[in-house]
Chain A
């Protein structure tokens, strides 16, 4: 044999991937040993994404040392942003032992294949997040059922998870389950859960949460839930205060009857045609999507957010729009209205003679135009919005994210027009704004930082003239 070769360290010259491949065939203990050979080997171990703790020591001191080491290693990998792709733990841990690793498990077990031989006891763990874990229902069950004090549980992106059953976890307060593609069944009976979020499981999934009697907040996004399921489930959740339903494509007709519900969001359910809401405590309602028909019994409603898509708007859309707005007029003093482009909701003057202004009770209207430019003079926009909602106290118009115009109105008394009625006011219970406006204060802010570029204050005759000036300013 060539003597020269005896002096050359050829093994350390191998690519790191090969060194790690070699490490993969070593026991955990021996693998750790190799990290003390030289700097190259230390580095190979530090970036090796698999931790296979194959030890099943009986000696408590030795177990403690190994687990402490594992805990530190997990933490270190997390800090160095080295994700662990596989974690194998063959020991059955006592509650005391589990405390060595539970904190680091929380952070480090991400994107990891988890193999556990038995239940892991993490008796004081309160916050558990399982993300991108490649683990069977059984393993997830081992982990979760070993955490009797758990308060917050999050299960994200666990692609092997098919059935999630959470029973007898009395301390559990908050649950988030999302992006679990293969999830077919969710059954939760945890009496103290107050917040539950199940999102992004597009495959048909059987869900039962009615036993969560103390549930206050529920978020359901991108699920294949049906009208009937939603209606039944909500009626059983007597303490529910907050409901957020979005992108559930199977929903066509939402019927919600809830005595405690305070906040309701409905958005992006593309097949929805109607929403019937019976919620005497409801104070905030938000809707985003195509035009649908609303039916409301919600006397406590004080803030309404509406964002209507206008992709296929036509004359009929405008009628539906006015009809929909009218459903809110008796409830809400503040309406936030968003639309992609103002042109869809400009009400032709001829129509204004025959229709009732839909939001005659509204005091504050905040209008947002998604597109950054208005295709119509601001005068037209104000005029149309003031027909929709006569005698507003304030009107805010946001155009894209750059321009915001805030208008504050004061009117001549009496507002109800008496005596000689101008033609434009004849068909109305209250006079049109042009005939009773006393004073307008306008603030125009531009740019993202909210710099005020102009303030105007003027009375009666100057109004039209001033609005024209703003139009000019918008173009800058």
Chain B
């Protein structure tokens, strides 16, 4: 019987989760170890975001459990298939986040707060992919970044960094 924990989101929704799944979060793991996690574990994460976080954690947990149950025979093939499955799942996950950047940033902050290094890296890579190959003006528009340099500052920056904009 798997040990279950109850996580409480900032908007008071309860999520019942297996210990193995939530222990990927160093923050929660520490709370459990410190004995601070009797009953519900209150988290500063909205239910919408927490659901996404758990979706990610379960997917990864799923992967590790299956690997443990493998015999060596036919493992290669299985692994390859599995990798394809994960890729597909990740692509879908990424597409959703790209479409709703608000969720993306909530998730970034949550992964930072919950100390989920794999998710954090995944999301940073995702943002980097969105940025890569785009000119600053496009990036600003994509993320609503305000160009807060004065014209003089802008001139100095172009002089220093201009080379990076040449093809």
Chain A residues at the B interface, C-beta cutoff of 8 Å: 1-2, 5-15, 17-18, 21-27, 29-30, 32-39, 41-42, 62, 65-66, 69, 72
A18 to B120 alpha-carbon distance, docked (Å): 8
Q: Is the CB of A34 within 8 A of B124?
A: no
Q: Answer whether A25 and B125 are a contact pair too, CB < 8 Å, given A18-B120, A35-B161.
A: yes
Cβ-closest chain B residue relative to A39: B148
> By CB atoms of chain B within 10 A, which of A8, A11, A18, A32 has the most?
A11
Q: Is the CB of B102 within 8 A of A22?
A: no
Q: Answer whether A38 and B131 are a contact pair too, CB < 8 Å, given A14-B108, A21-B120, A65-B163.
A: no
CB-defined contacts of A18 to chain B, threshold 8 Å: 108, 112, 120, 124
Q: Is the CB of A32 within 8 A of B145?
A: no
Rounded to whole Å, the gap between the CB of A30 and the closest CB of chain B is 6
Q: Is the CB of B166 within 8 A of A33?
A: no
Q: Is the CB of A38 within 8 A of B145?
A: yes
Rounded to whole Å, the gap between the CB of B131 and the closest CB of chain A is 7
Instruction: Report, nearest first, the 7 A-B pairs whose CB atoms are least far apart.
Output: A25-B128, A32-B164, A21-B124, A11-B143, A65-B163, A10-B105, A9-B144
**Chain B, interface SS category:** helix
Pick the residue among A27, A32, A38 that contacts B149 (CB under 8 A).
A38
**Is B132's CB within 8 Å of the partner chain A?**
yes
**Is B146's CB within 8 Å of the partner chain A?**
yes
A1 to B132 alpha-carbon distance, docked (Å): 25
CB contact list, B106-164 vs A, under 8 A: 108-109, 112, 120-121, 124-125, 127-129, 131-133, 135-136, 139-140, 143-149, 157-158, 160-161, 163-164
Q: Answer whether A34 and B143 are a contact pair too, CB < 8 Å, given A21-B120, A22-B127, A22-B131.
A: no
Rounded to whole Å, the gap between the CB of B167 and the closest CB of chain A is 10
Q: Answer whether A11 and B145 are a contact pair too, CB < 8 Å, given A21-B121, A25-B124.
A: yes
**Is B62's CB within 8 Å of the partner chain A?**
no
CB-defined contacts of A32 to chain B, threshold 8 Å: 161, 164
**Is B101's CB within 8 Å of the partner chain A?**
yes
Q: Is the CB of B132 within 8 A of A30?
A: yes
Q: Can you report 17 residue pairs joining A to B where beta carbons are below 8 Å apart?
A: A7-B144, A9-B146, A11-B105, A14-B105, A21-B124, A22-B131, A25-B124, A25-B127, A26-B128, A26-B132, A27-B132, A29-B164, A30-B133, A32-B164, A37-B136, A62-B163, A72-B160
Q: Is the CB of A22 within 8 A of B124?
A: yes
Q: Is the CB of A10 within 8 A of B102?
A: yes
**Is B100's CB within 8 Å of the partner chain A?**
yes
A8 to B131 alpha-carbon distance, docked (Å): 17
Cβ-closest chain A residue relative to B117: A21
Pick the residue among B102, B132, B147 that contacts A37 (CB under 8 A).
B147
Write out, one digit per residue, whether chain B residues 69-107 have a CB within 8 A of any chain A CB (1) or not (0): 000000000000000000000000000000011100100
Pick the residue among B105, B121, B131 that contacts A30 (CB under 8 A).
B131
CB-defined contacts of B120 to chain A, threshold 8 Å: 18, 21
Q: Is the CB of A36 within 8 A of B144?
A: no
A34 to B165 alpha-carbon distance, docked (Å): 11
Q: Is the CB of A36 within 8 A of B101?
A: no
A26 to B131 alpha-carbon distance, docked (Å): 8
CB-defined contacts of B125 to chain A, threshold 8 Å: 25
CB-defined contacts of A29 to chain B, threshold 8 Å: 164
Q: Is the CB of A24 within 8 A of B161?
A: no
Pick the residue among A7, A34, A65 that contacts B131 (CB under 8 A).
A34
A69 to B101 alpha-carbon distance, docked (Å): 33
Cβ-closest chain A residue relative to B106: A10
Q: Is the CB of A5 within 8 A of B102?
A: yes
CB-defined contacts of B139 to chain A, threshold 8 Å: 34, 37
CB-defined contacts of A14 to chain B, threshold 8 Å: 105, 108-109
